[in-house]
Structure 1
Amino acid sequence: MKLTIWGAARQVTGSMHLLEVNRYKILIDCGLDYEKETRLEENALFPFDPASIDVVILTHAHIDHSGNLPTLLRLGFEGQILCTAATADLTELLLLDSVTIFENKARKQKGRYHRRGKKPHGQQLLYMQKHVMDTAERFVTIGFNKPFRLNGDVVVELFPAGHLLGAASVVLTVNEHGLERSIAFSGDIGRKNYPVIVDPSELPPVDYLVCESTYGGRYHSKEETVEQVLVRVIEETCIKSPGRLIIPAFSIGRTQALVYSLNKIFSEGLLPRVRIFVDSPMANYATDIFRKYHHKLNSEAQAFYQQKGDEFEFENLHYVQSIKESRELSSYFEPCIIVSSAGMLEGGRIQDHLFYNIQNYYCTILFIGYSAKGTLGHRLLRGDPIVHIRDRELAVYAKIRQTDVLSGHADHDDLITVIKQQDKARLRNIFLVHGEPESMAAMRRDLEEEGYTVTLPEKGETFEF
């Protein structure tokens, strides 16, 4: 058995791990690498022949895990892609959105060349809609906790990872030369008691563990619940004053958790009704997928459905459809809540709402997710008094708030707990991936103090067992 870490090595994006068993090649995840130093087109430079891969196992739909699958197919991969049914549906949606992003980026780049009087380079998109549809045809869906035999030597089993609808941890049991061993790939691990999403389940004992470390060394605040935070901010912004609350939220996962939490607040009469607008076409499509897999949501959400109906629909909630309707929100002067994408403010309809409200003293912008360095979201969170939006420099008069109660990632203590569930006598090595170097170092320090063997792989590093 040979493991090579080809992505998310000492960084967060681009998850891609290759496991070889008796010449059978299994790729776990195939994500886009969009780190600062990586140009988009470099994602087509696979360090192996895509045609040599026998099967792909996809942990979940997020682009840093799924976003390079169409490129893999375009360059020769002909095998199946195994994942849960919900992951297949969400991945197709996200990949189609990626094509739109690629096209918009190419169009803007072409415009810049024309304005400078230069001839644009013949830029090829990383992949097109045809490649996404070809990818969707390769999905073979399997359920949780149901062993699936890949060949005579390898059995795969998926376990709920939390984090996102359909997200899985992967356990591979390998029989090689009469010796049985197992290796687990955590995928991204979610939090317990997260709105809508099931808790991560305990993994069976394994010999090797490839574990994410996104929030290594960081801890979520636990003083307030999601509902308590939202009630406090809504009351300050929309009840005690005639303001508007703008919440940037990722369209898939975060928006659904937020809408469900707002539904609970208003259905329980914790606040007077306030008009809520969800302004994200992709969030609307994703919410339909969440409804489709209602039976896969957590027990609390299913009980809510039995008692009060649709978790994602209620009286004061409106899903915005057209761009015309979105722009008309700038003329809506009653107190309201606007939920819009993208979460880091680097595109999408959220920029229109910021343009019209960043100088509004009665506006609060509530961040419920991570904003990477260099993004507009990061600049607002660090307190920049003036920001650049739509070719204008605008002074920031709106209140800027942040909470981590809706973060979808397990924190340091949660990750350590997951690992400690393993049989220490059996677990031979823990490979930490999908994290910044300082996050990995914090996890390794605590794990080694507990007596575990921990490795921080470099990109392209190979391990033979």
Structure 2
Amino acid sequence: MKLTIWGAARQVTGSMHLVEVNNYRILIDCGLDYERETRLEENAFFPFDPEDIDVVILTHAHIDHSGNLPTLLRLGFEGQILCTSPTADLTELLLLDSVNIHMNKQRRRSKRKHRNGGFAPLYLQKHVMDTSDRFVTIDFNKPFRLNGDITVELIPSGHLLGAASVILTVREHGFEKKIAFTGDVGRKNYPVMVDPADLPPVDYMVCESTYGGRYHSKAETVEQVLIRNIDETCIKNPGRLIIPAFSIGRTQALVYSLNKIFSEGLLPRVKIFVDSPLANYATEIFRKYHPMLNNEAHEFYQRRGDEFEFENLFYVQDMKESRHISNYLEPCIIVSSAGMLEGGRIQDHLFYNIQNYYCTILFIGYSAKGTLGHRLLRGDPVIHLRDRELSVYATIRQTDLFSGHADHNDLVNLVQKQDKELLKKLFLVHGEPASMEAMKTELEGVGYHVIIPEKGQVFEI
């Protein structure tokens, strides 16, 4: 068996790993690499022939894991894409949104170069629909036979609705080997999501390391952070609380947490606007797969009803309604995408409120370097938006309590549940080099064989 790390090697995005067993080729994830803007076009080139891939196994829907699937099909892949049912639905939604993002970026580039047209997005809506036709959905915790020698099993990883770790069981030369791909590992007790499940004993593991060396805050709960910010911004003052949030996963967790606060009477009611078409569609998928939410959400549903619907919550449907929010003069909460402020309706709300002393912008997710969100979080006094220089008078805050990733301790504990005598090699991917080194140091200290692979590095296992 041969393993090649083709993506998320010493970086976070672009997850893609190739397993070859007796000329049968399995691709684990096929994500977009968007570490740097100049790399977008590079996603159109694969380091292997897509026609040679027999099957793709998708851990979850996020674009850094799924976003290059349509390109793979466009260039000749003819096999099936295996994943859970929620992952199939959410991936289609995100890929269609990705088409719009690519088209808009290419149009802006064309304008800057004074050309009319000539842009070439990675893929079109047709390629997304072709991708959706290849999905074959399988249940959690039920082995699925790929061929006579290979079985795959999906284990809940808790990171996103439908997210899974992948366990491959391979029979080769009379011996059985197991290799685990963790995908992205979620946090315990995260709103709406199930806890990540323990993995069975394996011989090899490819493990994410996003939060290696970093630890989530424990001083406050999600509800306490929200209550404090709402109280200071909207109750004690006539202000606006603007929360940039990714549309899928983060927004649903936030809405549920707000529902708990207001339905239990912990604060006076404040109008809440969810201004993201993608989030609205995603919430319907969360409702569709309600049985797959965690026990706390089910208990809430029995007591209070729909987790994602309550009296003072308003889902914005179109641009006309979105513009009307600017004319709403009462204190309110605005939840909008994108989470890093790079495009989306959030930029409209930012434009009209960044110079409002009574506005607080609360970041609940990560903002990559170079993004508008990152510039605000580092304290830039002036930002450039819509060809204008705007002074920052709004209050800027951040919490990591809505992060969907396991932190250093959780990742280390996940690995340490594996017998160090049985686990022959641990490969760290999907993280910054410093994060990987922090995990490597701790795990090697207790006896694990840890490797931080380079992109394209091949391992005989």
Which category of TM-score, normalised to the shorter sequence, fits these structures? Answer: over 0.9
SS at match of 2:418: coil
Q: 1:404 to 1:341 in 2, by over 3 A?
A: same
Residues in 2 aligned to 1:392 and 1:292: alpha-carbon distance in whole angstroms: 43
Residues in 1 aligned to 2:205 and 2:112: alpha-carbon distance in whole angstroms: 47
2:450 corresponds to 1:429: no
Count of residues in Structure 1 that have an aligned counterpart in Structure 2: 461
Residues in 2 aligned to 1:181 and 1:408: alpha-carbon distance in whole angstroms: 30
Where in structure 2 are there 5+ consecutive unaligned residues?
none
Deviations 1:132-190 (A, max 9, x none): 00000000000100000000000000000011000000000000011001000000000
Residues in 1 aligned to 2:38 and 2:449: alpha-carbon distance in whole angstroms: 31
Alignment of 1:105-254 (within 5 A): 105-114=105-114, 119=115, 122-254=118-250
- Runs of 4+ in structure 1 over 4 Å off: none
2:293 corresponds to 1:293: no
Q: 1:66 aligns to what?
A: 66
Deviations 1:32-69 (A, max 9, x none): 00111642111011000000000000000000000000
Residues in 2 aligned to 1:367 and 1:295: alpha-carbon distance in whole angstroms: 29
Selected match of 2:367 from 358, 364, 371: 371
Q: 1:45 aligns to what?
A: 45
Residues in 1 aligned to 2:342 and 2:186: alpha-carbon distance in whole angstroms: 25
What's the offset of the Cα at 1:120?
Answer: 5.3
What's the offset of the Cα at 1:110?
Answer: 2.2
Residues in 2 aligned to 1:235 and 1:163: alpha-carbon distance in whole angstroms: 30
**Contact kept in structure 1, 2:107 and 2:119, CA below 8 Å:** no
Q: 1:416 aligns to what?
A: 412
The amino acid of 1:350's aligned partner reads: I
Residues in 2 aligned to 1:381 and 1:405: alpha-carbon distance in whole angstroms: 16
Residues in 2 aligned to 1:174 and 1:387: alpha-carbon distance in whole angstroms: 54
SS at match of 1:183: strand
Residues in 2 aligned to 1:283 and 1:186: alpha-carbon distance in whole angstroms: 26
Residues in 2 aligned to 1:126 and 1:97: alpha-carbon distance in whole angstroms: 13
2:27 corresponds to 1:27: yes
Deviations 1:416-450 (A, max 9, x none): 01001111110001000000100000000000001
What's the offset of the Cα at 1:234?
Answer: 0.4
Where in structure 1 are there 5+ consecutive unaligned residues?
none
Residues in 1 aligned to 2:43 and 2:109: alpha-carbon distance in whole angstroms: 19
What's the offset of the Cα at 1:93?
Answer: 0.2
Q: 1:350 aligns to what?
A: 346
Residues in 1 aligned to 2:399 and 2:241: alpha-carbon distance in whole angstroms: 14
What's the offset of the Cα at 1:269?
Answer: 0.5
Q: 2:450 aligns to what?
A: 454
SS at match of 2:421: coil
SS at match of 1:408: coil
SS at match of 2:113: helix
Task: Using the TM superposition, name which of 200-209 and 99-108 deviates more.
Answer: 99-108
The amino acid of 1:53's aligned partner reads: I
SS at match of 1:26: strand
SS at match of 2:198: coil
What's the offset of the Cα at 1:327?
Answer: 1.0
Residues in 2 aligned to 1:122 and 1:354: alpha-carbon distance in whole angstroms: 32
**Contact kept in structure 1, 2:273 and 2:334, CA below 8 Å:** yes
Q: 2:271 aligns to what?
A: 275
2:329 corresponds to 1:333: yes
SS at match of 1:39: helix
The amino acid of 1:248's aligned partner reads: P
What's the offset of the Cα at 1:95?
Answer: 0.2
Residues in 2 aligned to 1:288 and 1:329: alpha-carbon distance in whole angstroms: 23
Residues in 2 aligned to 1:359 and 1:287: alpha-carbon distance in whole angstroms: 32
**Contact kept in structure 1, 2:159 and 2:405, CA below 8 Å:** yes
**Contact kept in structure 1, 2:107 and 2:117, CA below 8 Å:** no
Deviations 1:373-428 (A, max 9, x none): 11110111011111111111001000001101111000100100100111111000
Residues in 2 aligned to 1:85 and 1:355: alpha-carbon distance in whole angstroms: 38
SS at match of 2:6: strand
Residues in 2 aligned to 1:228 and 1:163: alpha-carbon distance in whole angstroms: 22
The amino acid of 2:32's aligned partner reads: L
What's the offset of the Cα at 1:124?
Answer: 1.8
Q: 1:56 aligns to what?
A: 56
SS at match of 1:173: strand
Residues in 2 aligned to 1:334 and 1:2: alpha-carbon distance in whole angstroms: 61
TM-score, structure 2 normalization: 0.99
**Contact kept in structure 1, 2:444 and 2:450, CA below 8 Å:** yes
The amino acid of 1:97's aligned partner reads: D
SS at match of 2:190: coil
**Contact kept in structure 1, 2:110 and 2:119, CA below 8 Å:** no
TM-score, structure 1 normalization: 0.98
Q: 1:444 aligns to what?
A: 440
Q: 1:393 aligns to what?
A: 389
2:312 corresponds to 1:316: yes
Task: Using the TM superposition, name which of 388-397 and 186-195 deviates more.
Answer: 388-397
Residues in 1 aligned to 2:38 and 2:359: alpha-carbon distance in whole angstroms: 36
Residues in 1 aligned to 2:39 and 2:16: alpha-carbon distance in whole angstroms: 17
